[in-house]
């Protein structure tokens, strides 16, 4: 799920409803939106609008903070905590549009603005969190919390506000505050540069194939997509493959040309590590070192201790113990998977040992041999629009939701589609955008975000505006977008995040929707993946794109039987990245060694086998060096324990059981970060999660 940077997510509460006296008629960001549902008028917004809007928004919040501080009345929850919560509506409005666009539809102008805005927002953040008079008022209210008789959500807002200030340096001695500010400003720019480098290097690389025989093994759809890519890159008459996932993954799965598989794979894993203008090694050293420095200033042993304090896991030791336990289980399975593939290589007369660029190709052969299942056999049943129908059908049958596609609403990009989401009684729930295919202006991966978060303001319910952004296989001239089952699962995953944002019923924006600990936020998304392979649902959305034939029981049985296939690899490559993230962020001193050497030591220590490369090598590990997952990439497996256990409730009662869905909606999806996540989970499930469900789901025991 895409998050904004930690700095921006601290600053941007994404609250709607700004009316500023400084509104300028020629800047739509500074006027109240007059569009349906007050969606941003994307076609009217130009890059030149953002800097003036950010300047006005920062000035507005500074003024509102001054009013809080100058108030002569005794500090109270209303005049301090709530006033701070509502202090930056224009900044929330402007930043939500800006940062969503820089992720999904960036350009050189927006990149330049981002670099200019980053230190401005860093300074504003520090000006707030290091404001001694403001913190004194917050501390005064916090010290009275036992006597204020606050509701659960108000008490949580007070707790998290106080925590944000202490973690934001409010208790630092005066001589350390300038150093703290400097660290934050440097990190805001370095993390931004890291992400730009990954995007630029990914976009710059193409592998041109000019001999038809070098396409052997690829399907017609894959060849057509490569021809289209060649045309887009002025290589008409040839075929182009890139390091974008929809291009590289099928090539590695099906190409018989081992040399080209190696070439494309190495281009992918060496992004950010080519000693050119996009090299990220020095950025990593600086980011890791500054994070250590900041953690120590705040009194923590390392950055991981600072981050995990507010997560479910609480400590690095808890995380490392869990990751080590799971790595031991998954490595055993992965080693058997290597043996199975090597047997096929040997039986075919291959005089070589399995290498990382061979894994996808030979694992497909194993899948075919063991389960008689070929990815190209099932893709025709997962036409994108049918899969979308499937996720909407799931939400309708679980929660009674209605989805009305709207063609009259502004969208963030011409490729995006929009839905109005309603309850069964036609009550408006929110707006959902979906943006499916790769383009050079879009960063890789898939994520959900908000253009407006749900809240209740002045007694009025503010409905959310949610976006899902993906990078799925594109259609060609004669073939619609056909998804792999992995892409299908990803669509269900991001839709789970979207439901978390859409179905939120919280009072405060900063606690609503996905504003939960990192190791809890993936529960609503990952549990949705379980529905993707359920036979009852596959019969609804699994339809052949040419004949409209419903997927057969035989093919469904193959998909079900193969559900545990390759889980040793999938789990191990993920765990390797999660462990490496923890290794970087449990450093207690500045990182002085080359990140490549650091990575080698980390990989050797965890016992990773040479046939597997960690899912993200350091130099393109956006999650932890550019996104919000530093010391938090483990969250996916932590949440996987939760989602496997949670889905057991649906297995036991029926995958569309209304009572179970109601409990999940009311205790998880609607509650945001208003209560401790384990308490919320136990309200739904009745007990803490059992990790055996995950191990069983993945075939690791």
Which residues does the annotation mark as catalytic?
494
Q: What is the largest CA-CA distance in the chain?
A: 85
Which helix H or strand E contains 417, and what residues bound it? strand 417-422
Could you count the other beta carbons within 10 Å of the beta carbon of residue 377? 12
d(CA 234, CA 286) in angstroms, rounded, equals 38
**Token digits of residue 416:** 């995006």
SS3 (DSSP) at 131: coil
β-pair partners for 449 = 467
**Token digits of residue 260:** 């080209």
d(CA 97, CA 48) in angstroms, rounded, equals 14
Per DSSP, 329 falls in state H
Per DSSP, 74 falls in state P
Q: Are 510 and 160 in contact (CB under 8 A)?
A: yes
Length of the chain measured in residues: 701
- Strands 465-469, 428-435: pairing kind: parallel
Q: What angle do CA 113, 184, 172 make, to 5 degrees?
A: 150
- Strands, E, within 216-355: which ranges? 239-241
Region for residue 45 given its phi and psi (left: phi exceeds 0; alpha: psi -120 to 50; beta: otherwise)? beta
d(CA 153, CA 501) in angstroms, rounded, equals 17
- Among candidate residues 504, 439, 503, 437, the one with its CA nearest the CA of residue 468: 437
d(CA 219, CA 636) in angstroms, rounded, equals 32
Q: Are 620 and 198 in contact (CB under 8 A)?
A: yes
**Token digits of residue 86:** 């509502």
**Token digits of residue 17:** 């409803």
């Amino acid at each position: 799920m895409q998050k904004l940077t930690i700095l921006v997510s601290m600053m941007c509460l994404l609250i709607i409803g700004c009316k500023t006296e400084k509104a300028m008629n020629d800047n739509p960001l500074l006027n109240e939106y007059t569009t349906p549902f007050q969606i941003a008028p994307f076609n009217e917004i130009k890059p030149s609008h953002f800097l003036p809007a950010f300047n006005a928004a920062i000035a507005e919040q500074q003024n509102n903070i001054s009013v809080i501080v100058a108030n002569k009345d005794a500090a109270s929850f209303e005049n301090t905590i709530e006033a701070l919560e509502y202090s930056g509506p224009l900044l929330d409005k402007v930043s939500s549009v800006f940062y969503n666009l820089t992720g999904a539809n960036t350009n050189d102008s927006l990149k330049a603005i981002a670099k200019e805005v980053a230190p401005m927002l860093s300074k504003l953040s520090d000006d707030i969190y290091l404001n001694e008079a403001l913190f004194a008022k917050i501390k005064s209210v916090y010290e009275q919390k036992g006597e204020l008789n606050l509701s659960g959500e108000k008490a949580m807002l007070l707790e998290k506000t106080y925590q944000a200030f202490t973690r934001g340096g409010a208790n630092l001695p005066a001589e350390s505050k300038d150093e703290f500010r400097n660290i934050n400003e440097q990190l805001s720019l370095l993390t931004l540069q890291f992400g730009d480098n990954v995007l630029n290097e990914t976009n710059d690389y193409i592998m041109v194939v000019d001999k038809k025989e070098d396409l052997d093994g690829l399907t017609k759809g894959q060849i057509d997509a490569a021809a289209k890519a060649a045309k887009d890159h002025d290589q008409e008459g040839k075929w182009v493959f890139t390091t974008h996932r929809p291009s590289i993954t099928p090539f590695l799965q099906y190409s018989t040309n081992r040399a080209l598989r190696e070439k494309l794979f190495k281009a992918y894993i060496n992004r950010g590590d080519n000693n050119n203008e996009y090299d990220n090694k020095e950025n990593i050293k600086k980011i890791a070192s500054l994070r250590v420095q900041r953690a120590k200033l705040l009194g923590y042993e390392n950055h991981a201790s600072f981050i995990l304090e507010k997560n479910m896991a609480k400590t690095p030791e808890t995380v490392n113990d869990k990751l080590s336990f799971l790595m031991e289980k998954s490595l055993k399975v992965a080693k058997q998977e290597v043996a199975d593939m090597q047997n096929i290589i040997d039986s075919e007369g291959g005089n070589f040992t399995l290498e990382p660029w061979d894994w996808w190709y030979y694992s497909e052969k194993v899948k075919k041999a063991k389960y008689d299942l070929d990815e190209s056999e099932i893709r025709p049943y997962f036409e994108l629009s049918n899969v979308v129908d499937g996720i909407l059908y799931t939400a309708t049958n679980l929660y009674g939701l209605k989805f009305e596609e709207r063609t009259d609403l502004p969208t963030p990009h011409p490729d995006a589609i929009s839905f109005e989401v309603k309850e069964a009684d036609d009550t408006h729930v929110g707006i959902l955008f979906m943006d499916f295919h790769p383009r050079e202006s879009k960063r890789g991966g898939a994520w959900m975000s908000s253009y407006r978060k749900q809240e209740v303001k002045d007694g009025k319910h503010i409905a959310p505006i949610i976006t899902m952004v993906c990078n799925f296989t594109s259609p060609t001239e004669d073939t619609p977008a056909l998804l792999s089952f992995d892409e299908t699962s990803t669509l269900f995953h991001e839709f789970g995040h979207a439901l978390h944002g859409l179905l939120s019923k919280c009072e405060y924006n900063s606690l609503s929707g996905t504003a939960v600990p990192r190791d809890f936020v993936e529960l609503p998304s990952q549990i949705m993946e379980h529905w993707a392979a359920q036979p009852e649902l596959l019969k609804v959305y699994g339809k052949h794109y040419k004949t409209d034939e419903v997927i057969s029981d035989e093919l469904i049985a193959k998909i079900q039987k193969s559900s545990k296939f390759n889980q040793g690899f999938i789990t191990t490559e993920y765990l390797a990245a999660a462990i490496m993230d923890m290794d970087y962020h449990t450093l207690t001193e500045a990182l002085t060694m080359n990140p490549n050497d650091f990575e080698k030591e980390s990989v050797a220590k965890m016992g990773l086998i040479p046939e597997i490369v960690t899912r993200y090598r350091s130099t393109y590990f956006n999650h932890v060096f550019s996104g919000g997952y530093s010391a938090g990439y483990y969250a996916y497996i932590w949440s996987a324990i939760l989602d496997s256990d949670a889905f057991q409730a649906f297995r036991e009662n029926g995958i569309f059981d209304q009572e179970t869905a109601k409990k999940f909606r009311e205790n998880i999806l609607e509650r945001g970060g208003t209560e401790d996540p384990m308490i919320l989970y136990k309200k739904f499930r009745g007990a803490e999660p059992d990790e055996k469900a995950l191990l069983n789901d993945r075939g690791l025991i």
